[in-house]
Structure 1
Amino acid sequence: MAQVFISLGSNVEREKYVVKGLDDLAQAFGQLEVSSLYACEAVGFDGPEFYNLVVGARTSMSLDKVAKVLRDIEYANGRSPNAVKFSPRTLDLDLLLYDDCIADSPAQIPRDEILKNAFVLCPLAEIAPRLRHPIVQQSYASLWQAYDQASQHIQQLPLPWQQPVFTNQ
């Protein structure tokens, strides 16, 4: 079973799409490990504030299949296949890590944003503090400690989601 970590974000009907995204991820992957929810300014464009979090899951799906499942969930939740990179999103799901895999296709793994954005690194460090980044070989907790936390303001919020109970896991 592969360990995957997924960044989830929304800045359009944020609470609705965070909950729906988590429900759909739980349906696809089963039991999830979910970070706290964080509010942060849009990065790369002027737009409404985002809600972001990171989800961990175990899966027997291939890297390609996981990437396809994430895109399908985005599209099912109103994301346009032609969406511009820096624009508002109903639901944005980015595969951050797939075990210790390093890849450029079907997605960049590990995602560049892990080391660049507080709204990715902080929640990843929260749920996987001792896990090491496959390229820089530092733990996410130590990477978060060394991060310039004043450079991007994030605010922790209550998570409006209850994990479904999985009886056969």
Structure 2
Amino acid sequence: MTAVLLGMGSNLNRHDNIRAALDALQEHFGPLQISRVFESESVGVRAENYFNLVVSLESPMRLEALSAWLKSLEDSFGRERGQRRCEQPMDIDILCFGDKVGFFNGIQIPRAEILKNAFVLKPLAELVPDRLHPEEQASFAELWRNYRSEQKLWPIAFEWQGLTISTPDSIEPTQASAD
């Protein structure tokens, strides 16, 4: 079994798509650890705001097989591949796969977006604060404390399987910086 961290996002039918993706992940992999859900402005495209979160799970699959399975799951939500799309029903990225570092059949591990996007790093810092980034050898909490960006994100109220997994801190969006 390999410890895996996944980044998930959706800006189309967000509540339902994220719940359904979490259901599929739990059915396939068993118990999940789930960060709070954050709403964030889109980055790089003009689009509706995204819901983003991080999921931790244990996988018996090899990296390439897991990547293929996740792409199939994304496709089941109507994901269209190719050009960068404004609407994304489901996006699931492998952020970390054990302690692997490098490119493996076109898959970059750890994913570069960890250090670039608040909507990836903030949930990681909350979910697994003491875990070390495999390349930086700094904890996700430490990386978040030192992170600076103009990206805005805010936690939202979110329920899954009758459980509250996320509640808002405030009504107003805040700048992405360590609080």
Q: Normalising by structure 2, report the TM-score.
A: 0.86
| Distance in structure 1 (CA, Å) of the matches to 2:84 and 2:4 | 23
CA distance in 1, matches of 2:25, 2:100: 21
Structure 1 residues 60, 128: CA separation in 2 closer, same or farther (over 3 Å shift)?
A: same
**What runs of 5+ residues in structure 2 fail to find an aligned partner?**
164-179
2:86 counterpart of 1:87: yes
Aligned residue identity for 1:85: R
Dislocated runs of 4+, deviation >2 Å = 82-87
Trace 1:77-156 onto structure 2 (pairs within 5 A).
77-80=77-80, 82-106=81-105, 107-148=107-148, 151-156=150-155
Q: Which amino acid aligns with 1:117?
A: N
Structure 1 unaligned blocks of 5 or more = 165-169
Give 1:42's aligned residue: 42
Cα deviations across residues 121-147 of structure 1 (Å, max 9, x unaligned)? 000111110010111110000000111
Provide the residue aligned with 1:61 in structure 2.
Answer: 61
User: How many pairs were matched up?
Assistant: 162
Shift of residue 42, structure 1, vs aligned partner = 0.4
C-alpha RMSD of the superposition: 1.5
Is the partner of 2:8 in helix, strand or coil?
strand
Counterpart of 1:167 in structure 2 is: none
Q: Secondary structure at the match of 1:104?
A: strand
Cα distance between partner residues in 2 of 1:163 and 1:108:
35
1:25 and 1:127 mapped to 2: Cα distance? 17
The residue number in structure 2 matching 1:31 is 31
| Residue aligned with 1:16, SS | helix
1:5 matched residue in structure 2: 5
**TM-score, scaled relative to structure 1:** 0.91
Larger RCO (CA under 8 A, 6+ residues apart): 1
Tell me how far apart the structure 1 counterparts of residues 108 and 86 of structure 2 sit (CA, whole Å). Answer: 20
Give the letter for the 1:92 counterpart: D
